[in-house]
Structures are given as structure tokens and as C-alpha cells.
Structure 1
């Protein structure tokens, strides 16, 4: 195609093979679209299954295999293990301020001394050494002077949430990296976002304790079998975790929000990975590792840090899966009215595997071209060649 033959910007549909009547040239040939110069819509779908998917359910298994494969490659390019280590470190610093805030909030509706036993039930997902470390800190907190629970509640809660927000801010930055978004807001707004997520995490933690520990105790009076209660406890833990992660994936990236189905998949993947990794690491620490002999009194700290590192990697891998799932389809995955590629204010929604970047690419697309590895079988709009 010569330059004079190229269609004007935003003339055709951003969805391959499904032209919109208000944008596609009337009576025009689809071959005038640079995305389909050398591949029909059917050929594009065969090469990249799910290229026209309107929801994750419409991506076939072969398409999901491509999504997972790209997510693994992107994780290596984004240095997810290294980034997760930073998130884990700052998350470790945020754990105990978060516990303080949780104790303060819990004290508004129940006896704070009951929180120790309830949290120990929730903390069964942690390795034994880490459980003892967190349990000891909780015991010290609830055993202290509780007269300040009403007088200094606001000041103490704000201080605890502010300290914990440092760790959450680093998690938000890491999720932006997974979505290939740059943080464009200032320090004040970024910290306010982190504070909002931190407060939400504290409230979620208190609700999780209520669901997993308090409710089963009440239900036990009705004669429900213990095995069923244990299964319900783990199911509640998984559901609450998945919902919380979906909120993080949807609202933390600095882009137009993705529709709920496009963040749910990664949340489920991250939750399943987290539960499996936690169970496996707990077994490893219990039966094979020798952290106590190697690190002595610091064994609990080291085990907790390693577990948080594994948790952070699971969360970031879930974000990578979400990002690549959006990248698999040409359909608009963002909230609001349908927009053409290049107008969605979201890197992964504005670009699609196997299709060239839109001719009116904005700053987000420039960032993608600088950081994204070349896609297989990407059609170049100018040369008409493929790689």
C-alpha cells in the first residue's frame, strides 16, 4: 500500500473484521484497513484465537495458551521476581501497622482480646514460623493498655494506615508496571490512592476474620460438621482474596478502568497460585527447611519475608495475565462507551497482538513501543510485511 492509499486516521473500526457503521467507509473494501492487508479476519482469528473476543469467556483454550505464554515472557521482561522482592520488603514493614489498625477497628465492634485467636485461624495459610511471629505481635498488641481504643482511636488509626500505605504504594506501582502504564499523578494523589487501598485492606482483613473465624463458631452450635466448616473457611478466604485482588487490578493502574470480567481472570489465577504456593511453602518449611538452625531467632522474620515474596509474585503474575488477556483481543475492554484503539487511555486495550498500533497512537502507545517485546506475526501498517 502506498502512502496515498492509506485511509485517514480513525476511519475504520478498531475491531478487526467487524466494522462499525458509524466509522467504516460505506462500500469500502476491508483490505483498505492496514490491519487486514495480508490477513482476513478469519486468518487473524486462526493465528490469534480470541482476536475478536468481547469477554474472557470467548477466548478459546489455544488463545489462553498464548496469553499465558506472553504473560510469562512479560514477567521475565518486567523482572517480576525482583519487583516482587521490593513489594514484599515494604509489605513486611506495613504488616504490623496494618495489624495495629485492624486491632483498633476490631475493638469498635468486639473485644480486641478475641482477635488473637481469630487471626490465628486465618493465619493457617502462613508457614508455622511466620504464624508464631504474627501471633506474638498480636498478643502483645491486645495485651497492652486498651484505654486508648476510644480516646486515641482516630489518631492511632491514621498513623497506622499512613505507615501501612507505604507498602501498598509499592504494590500499586508494580501493578502499573504489569499493565505497562506510567504513573502520571503527583505525590499527593498517589499517596491518597495508596491510603484508600490501605484502609480498604484493613477493612477487608477485619471482614475476613469475621467470616472465617467468628461465623463458623456461631454455626457450630447448629451441629455443622467440622470438615464442612474448614472447607467453608478456606472457600471464604479464597473468595474474599479474589474480590480484593480484582479491586486492586481494576482501580490501581493509571488508565481507564477495565471491565470487571477482564480483571476477574487474573484475580482468580493469583488467588489459586497464592493458595497453592502458601500450602507448598508451609509443607516445605515444616518438613524440609532448616530456617531455625540457619537463622536462629530471625527464622520467623525470614520465613514471613519469603512467603510475602511468593505472595507478591502471585499477585503480579495475575496482573500480567489480565494485561495479556486484554492484549489478545481487539475489542474495547474498558468501561464506558465503545472507543477505537488509540482512544481508550489504556496501553493494553489500545494495542492488540497481531495488529499494528493505531496511527493516532498517544503517549501510552509510545510507552508500549518502547517497552513491549515484538509480537509474533505482527502486521506492519507501513511496509505491509509481517514478522
Structure 2
């Protein structure tokens, strides 16, 4: 896809782009969402993300087991899981219970082997989003299979570490909430707000890592990832709230799909989440195209598609 740029600007950060240029960027992003079939790409990423949930949770539990009792991770993840829609949280919690039960007693070399297998199984989502990002950035996938899976596993393990950090953060927040019990509804509301802020910061970090290492291109300078990461984070939080509200008020998925209702809700949330991630990448790509300055770190240029 090639869209003419009316006038490039020479700036070294996206927040220095003038408002008129941002209007051009917005128009190109609108056109690109259709030209790049972001909806279809998001559906594919959501499918592979669904397949990766169980091994990803296993990787989280096993990684957490390196520093603590794996049996405690289910309780500690409660605050994080409540951020997602309720039906989706039910499936995640059920999967988590099974993983925790299977992980009990795993130590030493068995733990390392199980963690390696779990990471490999969870790379399907990362690999799918890497392919989607190549389309967004108009690049061909020319990395060798070792290099491709090295990046895929790296992104997956980074996501695992971020989630583990979130588990620890949620544990601290839960401890504070217990200590402040009886202080009134205002304090509890503030604690819930902190939980959402922490979830947003962790999501923003994951998005930035995906945008920098996912596509087959020279790595973008970190400042050129901020706008897309921030936009994706805000949209993800809004989409999560929106899906929860829609399902609780208007979506009779249990009546329509029966026992598959929770699965459909989870897929809907994964689709919406995938869409905002790719939308953030598209914003970053168009923002980089708007400047004549080099937005990438030093290194060999990859061939364009």
C-alpha cells in the first residue's frame, strides 16, 4: 500500500509533529486499516492467542515457581484477571487451576524443561502478531527460522516476565487493601484505580516490546513507539470495559451459544485487543513516514515489501 504524503516534516520525536501533519497521519491510518485488512489480521491473531493461553499461563506459573510457590500464583493473579471481561476471566481462571495443579512438584531440570516447552507453545500468538506487523509496516519476513523464533520466544518470555511482575504488584496491592480494610469506600476505589493504572502500564510495556522487535525491520527508536503504545493502551482499557459492559447488558451469549458462550466472549475480547495493538502499530508506522529524519537505530536496512 502506498499513500502519498503531502509534506514531510523533519522532527526527531512524534510529539514534535505539528497538528496539521497529525491530521494527514490520521487520514492515512484510516485508509490503511482497510487496505491492510486489520480486522482480518486481528481475527487471525486472536485465534492464535486463544491457542496460546494455556501454554502462556503455564510459562507464567513455572516462571513464578522459580521465585515462589506456584500454588500461590492463582490467588495472586486474581486482581489481574478481574480486569478482563468476567466470562473471559472464568476460562482463564479454569486454565490457571489446571496449570497450577500440573506444576506442583515440578523442580530442577524438570522445571526448566517444562518452562521451555511452555514458552515454545506460547509463541504461536507472538509469531502471528509478528507476521501481522510485517503487513502493517509493508515488510517481507526474511529472517531465518532460528532468528524468527528467537524473537518470537523473546517477546513471549518478555510478556511472561511482565505478567509475573504484574502478579507481584497485584500481591502488594492486595496486601495494602487488606491492611486498609475499614478505611472507607474511597480508599478501596483508589486501590482499584491503582490496579487499572498498573494494568495499563504493563500493557503499554508489552506493546512497546512487540512494536520494536516484532516486525522485520531495523529497530525503531523508542520515542517513535510512544504514541502507538499509549493509544493502544488507552484503547485496550476502553475496549476491555466496553466488552464487559456489552456482554453484561446486551450480549446473550450463554443463551445463544450455551456452554460455548464464555469461549465466544474470550474470542471477542482477544479480537478487540488484537485490533487495538495493530492499530497502534499502524499509527507508529504512519508517524514515522511523516518525518524525513531517520527514526530507526543504526543497522542494515531491511528490504521493503
The ranges of structure 1 where at least 4 consecutive aligned residues each deviate by more than 6 angstroms after the TM superposition are none
State the TM-score, normalized to the length of structure 2. 0.91
**Alpha-carbon separation, structure 1, partners of 2:205 and 2:250:** 33
Report if the CA contact (8 A) 1:120-1:131 is conserved.
Answer: no
Report if the CA contact (8 A) 1:130-1:300 is conserved.
Answer: yes
- The number of residue pairs the alignment matches comes to 296
* 1:85 match: 43
**Alpha-carbon separation, structure 2, partners of 1:216 and 1:309:** 29
**Alpha-carbon separation, structure 2, partners of 1:227 and 1:148:** 39
Report if the CA contact (8 A) 1:56-1:325 is conserved.
Answer: yes
Within 5 Å, give how 1:104-183 maps onto structure 2.
104-144=62-102, 146-150=104-108, 152-183=110-141
* 1:333 match: 295
* 1:287 match: 249
**Alpha-carbon separation, structure 2, partners of 1:121 and 1:82:** 32
Pick the structure with greater CA Rg: 1
**Structure with bigger RCO (C-alpha 8 Å, 6+ apart):** 2
**Alpha-carbon separation, structure 2, partners of 1:131 and 1:246:** 25
Q: 1:145 to 1:204 in 2, by over 3 A?
A: closer
Give the alignment's Cα RMSD to 1 decimal.
1.9
* 1:201 match: 159
Report if the CA contact (8 A) 2:243-2:269 is conserved.
Answer: yes
The alignment status of 1:313 with 2:275, answered yes or no, reads yes
Within 5 Å, give how 1:156-305 maps onto structure 2.
156-211=114-169, 213-220=170-177, 223=180, 225-305=187-267
Unaligned runs of 5+ in 2: none
Unaligned runs of 5+ in 1: 1-43, 338-343, 347-362, 368-387
Structure 1, residues 322-376: CA drift from partner, whole Å, max 9, x if none?
0000011111111249xxxxxx726xxxxxxxxxxxxxxxx42xx3xxxxxxxxx
The secondary structure found in structure 2 opposite 1:140 is helix
**Alpha-carbon separation, structure 1, partners of 2:229 and 2:69:** 33
Structure 1, residues 56-80: CA drift from partner, whole Å, max 9, x if none?
1111222212112211211111101
Q: 1:69 to 1:104 in 2, by over 3 A?
A: same
Report if the CA contact (8 A) 2:134-2:140 is conserved.
Answer: yes
Q: Which of the pair is proportionally richer in helix?
A: 2
